[in-house]
Amino acid sequence: MILNDLLQLKEKELAARKKILLRCCMAAGCISSNSTGVKEQLEKAVAEAGLQNEVEVRGVGCMKLCCEGPLVAVEPANEMYVKVTPENAPSIISALQGGQANVDQTDPNAAFFTKQLSIVLANSGIVNPERIESYVALDGYLALHEVLNEMTPKDVVETMVKSGLRGRGGAGFPTGLKWGTVAKSPGSKKYVICNADEGDPGAFMDRSVLESDPHSVLEGMAIAAYAVGADQGYLYVRAEYPLAIARLQLAIKQAKQMGLLGAGIFESPFNFNVDIRIGAGAFVCGEETALMMSVEGKRGTPRPRPPFPAESGLFGCPTLLNNVETFANVPAIYRKGADWFAGIGTEKSKGTKVFALAGKIKNTGLIEVPMGTPLHTIVEEMGGGAPDGGKIKAVQTGGPSGGCIPAQHLDTPVDYESLGKLGSIMGSGGMIVMDEGTRMVDVARFFMEFCMDESCGKCIPCRAGTVQMHNLLDKILKRKATARDLAKLEELCDMVRNTSLCGLGQTAPNPTLSTLRFFRNEYEDLLQPDTFDGGANHSQTVTK
């Protein structure tokens, strides 16, 4: 394929658009509520009304407001129907002809939608993820063409550095610096890996991107591969995401057929192939060295660093590893420029961040906001606050590796540095809201149990420390603990955080430490008085 072929494909797709577009969500959440039946009945109703030449029913990816699914949006009327059933379909088609739709609507101009700024999710809920033509119609693969024909690999790395994009997988390491390190590492064979092993409880950002816009990730990986000198890529996806896997497989097949993956991309010397590796669901395989062990067919356990993957990674070769959201940002950066991206967000946290908003909140779903957006804007304005007139007590960010931020700090801007000061992290983007009915010690025990179960057991601090911390939290909740147990819990948190081999153990104490920091009274209220008096009476008893 050459540029003219791509542009002709885009023009053909745009010319085929019909007067009215019905976008029906076909992401995993809505499919579980029978959006497949909704789409089928919409298509049937369109045919029965004789509107095939005027109305297109398009299956799309996530439309963000997951709590109201299945969702159906109408263009150009700017209407969105919620909780649609197959039985509602005829009335929606009737409404197109001046009738009345027998189904509830939501306001597309509500804060949940208008306060978002979509880069990663720009195509989500818009394109048909199962048709590459739908992606091309929105300038898909134009960035890859420009990179291959107008930029050197060094130029590509410099542009990424200038953009200020930081890895969206959790730690926020500068993406351009990582790309540059891999590019400079000696070796005739290099790899690019996309980490789609999303395992945080309550997180579904990466899954939704893969289900909704798989070609953006593939294009981002191809650009990265050109920058670092790799010709082979792997997408590591957990087996619990069958729809994402199926759509990725189809996207890879379509891209290869059009010459956008494989040999001689855009008739250049650049070759790049992508294969999928399916993970068994171990949380620790989200850690980069454990992930690479799993891709190699070995048990997914972390290894000490250095050497870092950029120097010696998959099969001992220099390896670039970023997550889904990081790669999905890449095409837009090269289409619109590094300065455009760097102009969004804060001084040290550029661009936007995708969050999975869940928990005790009215509007659950996916949001994408500029870095620096206050938590209050996200949970109170976009999320609609706690349901049933309740009050928000805390917001947990960063999954099992993150921390709980109390309501008095909801004015905190969401960026790497601000969250870190409160003992939390950005993480991959899970955001769980808790109301006043939530016991924070319960929260700490829940996440500690998760980390305990998911520990690979390779290092003693994590293997044994998480068990002991969980036992102490359980003892506290059973009202059998004393102040000495609480002190022991804090001591264990410090030990596990500072001596564990990988990020799982190093961050496992975060939920406990953050809840102790801001909700210590809830721990102390569960303690029993100390019966041990310091040793004096014990010594006398022994003497007698």
Determine the average pLDDT of the residues in 401-417.
Answer: 94
pLDDT in tens, 62-71: 999 999 999 9
For tokens 């209050």, the residue is 376
Query: Confidence band (pLDDT; 50, 70, 90) for 540?
Result: very low
pLDDT in tens, 197-213: 998 888 899 999 999 99
pLDDT of residue 428: 82
- CA 136, 137, 138, 143 dihedral sign is positive
Indicate the average pLDDT of the chain.
94
Residues in a beta bridge with 55: 20
Q: Are 481 and 475 within 8 A, CB to CB?
A: yes
Number of CB atoms found within 10 A of residue 337's CB:
14
pLDDT of residue 538: 40
> Is 478's pLDDT higher than 70?
yes
Determine the average pLDDT of the residues in 257-268.
Answer: 96
Query: Confidence band (pLDDT; 50, 70, 90) for 532?
Result: low
Nearest to 171 by CA among 316, 291, 322, 280: 322
| Lowest mean pLDDT across 47-51, 100-104, 423-427, 461-465 | 423-427
430-435 and 273-279 as β-strands: parallel, antiparallel, unpaired? unpaired
Q: Are 106 and 68 within 8 A, CB to CB?
A: yes
Instruction: Let me know if 434 is exposed, middle or buried by CB neighbors in 10 A (0-12, 13-18, 19+).
Output: buried
Buried b (16+ CB within 10 A) or exposed e, 134-162: bbbbbbbbbbbbebbeebebeebbbbbbb
| CATH fold label, 440-524 | de novo design (two linked rop proteins) (1.20.1440)
Residues in a beta bridge with 72: 24, 81
pLDDT of residue 4: 92
Domain 18-108 falls under CATH 3.40.30.10: yes
> Is 98's pLDDT higher than 80?
yes
> Is 244's pLDDT higher than 90?
yes
Determine the average pLDDT of the residues in 441-446.
Answer: 96
Determine the average pLDDT of the residues in 50-62.
Answer: 97
Q: Determine the 3-state secondary structure of 473 from DSSP.
A: helix
Q: Strand runs (DSSP E) across 342-435, as ranges?
A: 352-359, 365-370, 392-397, 403-406, 430-435
The domain ranges of the chain are: 18-108, 140-341, 353-435, 440-524
- Rounded CA separation 448/503 (Å): 14
- Rounded CA separation 481/532 (Å): 12
pLDDT of residue 171: 79
Nearest to 337 by CA among 123, 147, 140: 147
Q: Which CATH class is domain 140-341?
A: alpha beta
Determine the average pLDDT of the residues in 158-169.
Answer: 96
Q: Are 379 and 385 within 8 A, CB to CB?
A: yes
One-letter identity of residue 401: S
Backbone angles phi, psi at 321, to 5 degrees: -130, 120
CATH code at 353-435: 3.10.20.600
> Is 118's pLDDT higher than 60?
yes
Q: Determine the 3-state secondary structure of 155 from DSSP.
A: helix
Determine the average pLDDT of the residues in 511-531.
Answer: 93
Query: Confidence band (pLDDT; 50, 70, 90) for 95?
Result: very high
Q: What is the DSSP letter of 345?
A: B
> Is 533's pLDDT higher than 60?
no
Number of CB atoms found within 10 A of residue 242's CB:
12
What DSSP string describes 107-124?
-TTSHHHHT---STTSST
Query: Confidence band (pLDDT; 50, 70, 90) for 539?
Result: very low
79-81 and 319-323 as β-strands: parallel, antiparallel, unpaired? unpaired
